[in-house]
Amino acid sequence: MVTHEATPTRPRAVSVRARSALDALEHLIGGMGTGLLALLAMLWLLLTAVTCLVGVGLVLLPSALHAVRAVADRERARLSRWGPEIIGPPEPPAGLRAVLADRAVRREVRWVCTHALFGLLLGLIGATLPLNAAHDITFPLYWRFLPESEATAALGWWTVRDWPGALFVTFLGVLFVVAIVLCAPGLARLQAWPGRRLLSPDPGTDLVLRVAELTATRAAALDAHATELRRVERALHDGTQNRIVAVTVLLGAARRALTRNPAEAEAVLERAQEAAEQALAELRAVVRSILPPVLADRSLPDALTALAADCPVPCRVDADVPGRCAASVEATAYFVVAEALSNIAKHSGAHDAGVVVRRLDDRLYVEIHDDGRGGADERNGSGLTGIRRRTEAHDGTLELASPPGGPTTLKVTLPCGS
């Protein structure tokens, strides 16, 4: 029984190992790229240190430290894509002496020197292993067309003169593949280790930054809440309240007209009924803007489809949201799309728009794009500030790309739980 159960898992285990090896090669080659940048930064530091002996290096030192920070930030971003996020340190203090005394700066300099040598070497090994494997495995296909002095294995230590030798080179290529599968993940971890040790913040830094971020998002949530209350109050005051006042006035006029001219009273009552219906419609619109009933009755894609159908600009909705998100998250996504489509209709001059919604793991991704004139700016009061506040109140992110001439793309990411 044990043998029969283990057999079907072998192909899957091989597939997992192969994928792990490919990921490791990708990490190693990416580390080679940052290793080259670290080498340039290290050479710049050495040049600065040498010229400091004659006093000129003090002028170059800020630019050298800036280059170190730029390379370190790139490595933090690379490592964060393949594992736990590494948060960068705050901006260094003002003053050259304070910068040199900053512990984070010293750690970054140590990492640059280590990665420029050690990380670059491991990256070169990771890049040459698959090239050597491809060279040796395919060697029997072309070795007879090579000059005798060049008909060698990838490492160049043995000249091939016959078919058994060519097949032996292929066997060496298979050994290279085995070495990649067995060693590449370890090499990738070894290459990343100095970065994770030296570029990570000090204990407690992550917590301090997180508290500051939560404080900011809490303030944004309160601002968004106050803005929403003002919007609802303004909508009720300027619209619904005026309609109800008109109904009251018309009913009073109809009551007085009953004793003088019943025919006139009927016309006044008809006007009062129309005003009451308009007030009811505006009240429903205000309620829908707070929390659309369609979100509770149906789903977020259905609600967004209804929004797109009411948009004056032709709009397509491509939504793939398996399951339901939290009601507050769906309401925020609905608000983002509604405000964005309103902006498109009022300001963009677009002929076509689109909404794409995806849920991947614990994130909800919303993208709204149009082919309008572009130039959207949060500072011009177009509603983008409200979108950002609502998004950040949910610990989400907003990205806006709107070059002059268009197109405009708005991307919002919201955490929605697993």
The pLDDT of residue 1 is 38
Helix axes 384-393, 205-235, angle to 10 degrees: 130
- Per 3-state DSSP, the chain is made up of helix, strand and coil in percentages (nearest 5) of 70, 10, 20
Banded pLDDT at 6 (limits 50, 70, 90): very low
Q: How many residues does the chain have?
A: 418
CB within 8 Å of 109: residues ≥ 6 apart: 45, 65, 68
Check residues 60 and 383 and name the one with the higher pLDDT.
60
The pLDDT of residue 399 is 87
The pLDDT of residue 407 is 87
Q: Using the predicted structure, report yes or no on whether residue 214 has a pLDDT greater than 80.
A: no
Banded pLDDT at 187 (limits 50, 70, 90): very high
Q: Using the predicted structure, report yes or no on whether residue 8 has a pLDDT greater than 50.
A: no
Reported as a single tens digit per residue, the pLDDT across 50-108 is 888 777 767 788 888 889 999 999 999 899 888 787 877 777 666 667 777 778 888 99
Question: Highest mean pLDDT range out of 72-76, 231-235, 318-322, 360-364?
Answer: 72-76
Task: Indicate the average pLDDT of the chain.
Answer: 79
Rounded distance between C-alpha atoms, residue 385 and residue 12, angstroms: 49
| Residue labelled with tokens 């070795």 | 143
Q: Residue 145 carries which DSSP code?
A: G
The pLDDT of residue 207 is 57
Banded pLDDT at 222 (limits 50, 70, 90): low
Helix segments in 153-204, DSSP class H:
163-198
CA distances from 221 to 225, 390, 417 (A): 6, 7, 19
Question: Highest mean pLDDT range out of 199-203, 216-220, 280-284?
Answer: 199-203
Q: Radius of gyration over alpha carbons of the chain, in Å? A: 33
Q: Using the predicted structure, report yes or no on whether residue 381 has a pLDDT greater than 70.
A: no
Banded pLDDT at 253 (limits 50, 70, 90): confident
The pLDDT of residue 93 is 63
Q: Using the predicted structure, report yes or no on whether residue 386 has a pLDDT greater than 70.
A: yes
Banded pLDDT at 233 (limits 50, 70, 90): low
Of the chain, the percentage scoring pLDDT greater than 70 comes to 80
Amino acid at 243: R
CB 192, CB 81: distance < 8 Å? no
Rounded distance between C-alpha atoms, residue 317 and residue 109, angstroms: 49
Partner residues linked to 152 by β-bridges: 159
Q: Using the predicted structure, report yes or no on whether residue 122 has a pLDDT greater than 90.
A: yes
Q: Using the predicted structure, report yes or no on whether residue 126 has a pLDDT greater than 80.
A: yes
Of the chain, the percentage scoring pLDDT greater than 90 comes to 14
